[in-house]
Amino acid sequence: MKGTIKTLLTGMVMTGAFASSTAMANAPEHASWGYHKSASQQVAVEKYVSFTAQNTALLVIDAQQAYVPGTPEFWPTVFFPEYPIPVQNVDPEMGNKIQRIADLVRLAKEKQVTTQVTYEGEEAFHSPMIASIEQELSAASLRHFKAYFNATKETGIEQAMRQLQQQGIHQVIVAGAETDVCVLQTVLGLKKMGFDVTVVSDAVFSTEHYTRPSFKRLQQAGVALAKADEVMAAMNGSHKVTLSPRYAIQSRADIYQGDRRKMAALTFNFDTENLKQAEHDNKAAVTYRNRQWTNYVSYAFAPASGMATFHLNAADKPVSTEFKQAANLQSVDNIAKVIKGMRKAGKNQAIISGVVTQSELMRATRRLLAAGITPVILEDSLMGKYVDPVHYLDKVYDLGAVPSTFKITGYEMTAAVFNLDLTEQEIAATQDMFDNANNQTLIELMPRLR
């Protein structure tokens, strides 16, 4: 793709979410979570809550017109009209999700629940809030403008949230956009600040329909996921919510947040034979993302950010020439060599893609975790040697691997719009990728995965 990286990143200006969550103060000890026994662990089915104006706030993240695909205001359409919007990428539930956000805002106003909203962009340059949501906001709603996808990195927003804590508000209900970017990153930031967060799972939206990696990552971080009708019933006095969606994975002891300076790209079995035989329900979409990911690593973040890169293949077969290879790529035949190389490079986040068996992935996950390295699975850039990995990924997440996607990780790497978090060298390298990489497009316009 041609054009300047500044223009591209200026276009990436929107993501929304709203946070509020709580545990019922008067609930019996050890009774705040209801459990269902699964094969490997206990899964919370419901949570006791008490959502009041005294202990809860609503945070609506980036519910802006620029993030609604299929509309004239959609930012890729505005900045890159030459790129068509894949028909399958337009969410048929988008209108309902937007209506639920408006309903939450209206109810918060009725209940006098503190409401804050974020806009991606600057006060003088930002996309307007979606009109149906805007008209429900009270005059007292506090509005923030941000450049970082994780809103808690903005000093003014972080201070505003600290003030809520000082007022006794320890729960945040979150809705908005985008599910896998600003909602995800901001919610994890709120958790690190000590808030009890509930994400309204059917009142968040994104260009990416496949939400499981985002929701699994949030559940893994101890975030409650509940539908809008459950959350609004609790705001009206109900004392529990049914959690949905929910997954058979354990919570992690720490909250993972991606940092390009700590990352190594770990690709499994990217040789011609394994790629030909690999299995996935949508192999074409995964192959497309693999090409994009290898371009990001090889053109931009390996040379400019110092990302270490490894190709793990027990038979020592080389990476297929179909994909760009980083100049610093290390080919290894076992996970111990990856760990040694990552330690030498000072990296502790292993970003995993490629072609794997269940046993390979689980063995590597255990070894990486034992070495103090966080395995991060690019679920949309991973195929199976025998079966689609979707059938066993939850077992890997249950061990402690982090669910992710190319889009989630890509936005963690760039961190902010307007080039704010990138060095001059990183900006130049990213521009080189967009000028010279094969089959390059916007992350938002990649073909739908599932």
CA distances from 177 to 243, 372, 394 (A): 20, 33, 25
Q: Would you list the DSSP string of 248-275?
A: S-PPPSS-----GGGEEEEEE--SHHHH
* Residue 252 lies inside a defined structural domain of this protein: no
Same domain? 216 vs 306: no
Residue with tokens 């996970």: 335
Q: Which of 186, 216, 242 is the last residue of a domain?
A: 242
**Extended beta strands in 123-205, E state:** 125-126, 142-146, 171-177, 196-205
Looking at the structure, do residues 67 and 183 belong to the same domain, yes or no?
A: yes
For residue 52, which amino acid is it? T
Region 142-164 average pLDDT: 98
pTM of the model: 0.91
Residue 5 lies in a domain: no
164 pLDDT above the threshold of 70:
yes
> What average pLDDT does range 366-380 have in this prediction?
99
Euclidean distance between CA atoms 259 and 272, whole angstroms: 31
Q: 195 with 338, same domain?
A: no
Give the residue from 210, 242, 274 where a domain finishes: 242
DSSP 389: G
Look at residue 440 in the predicted model and tell me its pLDDT.
Answer: 63
According to the model, what pLDDT value does residue 15 have?
A: 36
Over residues 267-287, mean pLDDT: 97
Q: Are residues 238 and 264 in the same domain?
A: no
Structure tokens at 380: 């949309």
In 36-145, which residue ranges form alpha helices assigned H by DSSP?
75-79, 94-110, 131-134
CA 389 – CA 402 distance, rounded (Å): 15
On the question of pLDDT at 82 being above 90, the answer is: no
1 in a structural domain: no
What's the mean per-residue pLDDT of the chain?
91
Q: Read off the pLDDT band of 3 (50, 70, 90).
A: very low
The Cα 168–Cα 396 span in angstroms is 38
| Same-domain check for residues 237 and 382 | no
Residues 396, 441, single domain; the answer is yes
221 and 145 share a domain? Answer: yes
In a domain, 108, yes or no: yes
Select the more confidently predicted residue: 35 or 299.
299
How many domains are there within the chain? 2
* 3 state SS of 232: helix
Domain membership flag for residue 188: yes
Residue 75 pLDDT > 80: yes
In which residue are the tokens 């985008």 written? 178
Q: What are phi and psi of 169, to 5 degrees?
A: -90, 115
312 and 218 together in one domain? no
Torsion of CA 67, 73, 74, 80, to 10 degrees: -140
375 within domain boundaries: yes
Q: Pairing relation of β-strands 56-61 and 42-48?
A: unpaired
Q: Give yes or no: residues 192 and 52 share one domain.
A: yes
Domain's final residue, options 207, 242, 277: 242
Residues 122 and 219 in one domain: yes
Give the confidence band of 32 by pLDDT, cuts at 50, 70, 90: very low
Same domain, 167 and 229: yes
User: Is residue 148 located within the same domain as residue 287?
Assistant: no
Strand partners, 57: 114, 172
Q: How far apart are CA 64 and CA 160, in angstroms?
A: 21
Rounded to whole angstroms, the Cα distance separating 384 from 404 reads 17
130: helix, coil or strand?
coil
User: What's the CA angle centered on 430, arms 80 and 378, to 5 degrees?
Assistant: 90
Give the SS3 label for residue 40. Answer: coil
The pLDDT of residue 83: 85
The enclosing H or E element of 60 equals strand 56-61
Residues spanned by the domain of 192: 46-242
Mean pLDDT computed over 256-282: 98
Strand partners, 200: 226
The single residue listed with the structure tokens 């994975």 is 249
Residue 322 maps to which CATH number?
A: 3.40.50.850
> 13: which 2 tokens?
């200006």
Which amino acid, residue 144?
A: H
The pLDDT of residue 21 is: 30
Q: Which three-class secondary structure state does DSSP give residue 195? A: coil
**């499994």: which residue's tokens?**
268
pLDDT at residue 111 above 90? yes
Distance between CA atoms of 301 and 376, rounded to whole angstroms?
A: 17
Q: Residue 298 falls within a domain, yes or no?
A: yes
Tokens matching residue 309: 């890169």
**Within a domain: residue 63?**
yes
